[in-house]
Structure 1
Amino acid sequence: MKVGIMGGTFDPIHIGHLIAASSAVEAAGLDEAWFMPSHIPPHKDRAPKASAAQRWDMVCRAVEDHPKFKPADVELQMGGVSYSVETVKRLCELYPSHQMHYIIGADMVQFLSKWFQIDEIVKRIGFIGLQRPGTALDLSRLPEHIRQAVVIVPMPLIDISSTLIRERATTGKSARYFVPDRVFEYIEVNRLYEA
């Protein structure tokens, strides 16, 4: 099975995440896209506003109606800081017959050589880089063994972020249509992100 991993804080998950995964599934011929919330993201300077359980609930609600989208709690089960190399090792232990690919933005592809233990990661997993219109990308700057692990696919420009959604909620604006309906209901009922 060919699987794409969408990792992230998902605080909250939004339609941009779903469109990104859909673009990867179609362009790279994935059997499934797994949405994997991080327990504690290593590169963020603040803790998520929503708890791990709330972020998991929102991911489950967001993907429940799509036959190729699945929630994955691997990093939440591992606990601690979510380092990609440890996650990849765990995924390979749990699903040795699966062909795994991280789905990342093309802007992140350029920094793959700086990822912690990237040489160990590319031995085990590939990367699908989502290239938005207007994003310049020069793969020739990457070492050959990393470049060979990357496939670039096009993605429409969706200018939505979790930060924007939280800011809207904090100022009393609606997140409706920025997130799937069931996620919107969850945010409203649980009064997440309110000032």
Structure 2
Amino acid sequence: MKIGLLGGTFDPPHLGHLIMAEHVLEVMHLDEVWFVPSHVPPHKQKSSLMAEDRLRMVERAIEGNPQFSLSTVELEREGKSYTIDTIKQLQSQYPGNNFCFIIGGDMVQHLDRWHRIDELKKLVQFVGVGREGYQLASSRDVKLVDIPRIDISSSMIRKRLAQGKSIRYLVTHEVYEYIKEHSLYVSDS
């Protein structure tokens, strides 16, 4: 099977993540896309939420698409989530699968800074996702895929929630309800 891996903190998962996954699924002729929530991404500070909440929100976000799955490989490993460790573990667990790793267009130019990148490039195909009409910096190591322009980010959603603003239609209804039900991202002030 051809599997796309979409890693991230998913703090929270939003429609941009789902649109990205769906477009790459089609363009790359993948069988599935696995969402891989990180425990602690090496390039960010820790997530604002516990892993359990982020995991539950990803489950809800993808539940309507049979070609989307959740992988807890990085959450189970704990510590910093290096892509090389994830790829090696998944290739060992699922030797019959062919994996590609989906990254946002903004990450393409920073790929050379990733942990053990030369070894990683030999193990997995990178798929860089960019917006239509926006030229990605090309790299011979990255297959480029255009998606519709979606200016939604998890940080923007967290900020809107902290300000008491609506996030309806930025996340799935199920994620919206989970955030409301658990009073997530509410400002302490």
Q: Give the shorter-chain TM-score range.
A: over 0.9
Q: Which amino acid counterpart does residue 29 of structure 2 have in structure 1? A: G
List gaps (5 residues or longer) in structure 2.
none
Once the two structures are TM-superposed, the CA of residue 78 in structure 1 deviates from its matched residue by 0.8
Q: Which amino acid counterpart does residue 108 of structure 2 have in structure 1? A: V
Once the two structures are TM-superposed, the CA of residue 94 in structure 1 deviates from its matched residue by 1.0
- Give the Cα separation in 1 of the matches to 2:43 and 2:109: 16
- CA, structure 1 residues 138+169, in 2 after alignment: closer, same or farther (shift >3 Å)? closer
- Give the Cα separation in 2 of the matches to 1:163 and 1:112: 22
Q: Which amino acid counterpart does residue 123 of structure 1 have in structure 2? A: K
Q: Secondary structure at the match of 1:113?
A: helix
Q: Which amino acid counterpart does residue 149 of structure 2 have in structure 1? A: L
Give the corresponding residue for 2:96.
97
Give the corresponding residue for 1:157.
149
Contact 1:101–1:127 (CA under 8 A) maintained in structure 2 = yes
Give the corresponding residue for 1:80.
79
CA RMSD of aligned residues (A): 1.1
- Give the Cα separation in 2 of the matches to 1:186 and 1:137: 35
Give the corresponding residue for 2:6.
6
Q: Which amino acid counterpart does residue 152 of structure 1 have in structure 2? A: L
Give the corresponding residue for 1:110.
109
For residues 136-147 of structure 1, the aligned pairs below 5 Å read 136-139=135-138, 142=139, 147=140
Q: Secondary structure at the match of 2:161?
A: helix
Deviation string 1:19-39 (CA, Å, 9 cap, x unpaired) is: 000110011101000111000
Contact 2:84–2:120 (CA under 8 A) maintained in structure 1 = yes
Once the two structures are TM-superposed, the CA of residue 135 in structure 1 deviates from its matched residue by 2.8
- Give the Cα separation in 2 of the matches to 1:113 and 1:81: 18
- Length-normalised TM-score, structure 1: 0.92
Give the corresponding residue for 1:177.
169
Q: Which amino acid counterpart does residue 82 of structure 1 have in structure 2? A: S
Give the corresponding residue for 2:38.
38
List gaps (5 residues or longer) in structure 1.
none
Q: Which amino acid counterpart does residue 113 of structure 2 have in structure 1? A: K
Q: Secondary structure at the match of 1:187?
A: helix
- Give the Cα separation in 1 of the matches to 2:118 and 2:4: 19
Q: Secondary structure at the match of 1:36?
A: strand
- Give the Cα separation in 1 of the matches to 2:9 and 2:31: 23
- Give the Cα separation in 2 of the matches to 1:50 and 1:106: 25
- Give the Cα separation in 2 of the matches to 1:131 and 1:9: 19
Q: Which amino acid counterpart does residue 162 of structure 2 have in structure 1? A: T
- Give the Cα separation in 1 of the matches to 2:136 and 2:158: 30
Match of 2:179 among 179, 187, 190: 187
Q: Secondary structure at the match of 1:48?
A: coil
Q: Secondary structure at the match of 1:131?
A: strand
1:66 maps to 2:65: yes
The farther-off stretch of 126-135 and 75-84 is 126-135
- Give the Cα separation in 2 of the matches to 1:120 and 1:97: 20
Report how many residues are paired. 187
Q: Secondary structure at the match of 1:66?
A: coil
The farther-off stretch of 109-118 and 170-179 is 109-118
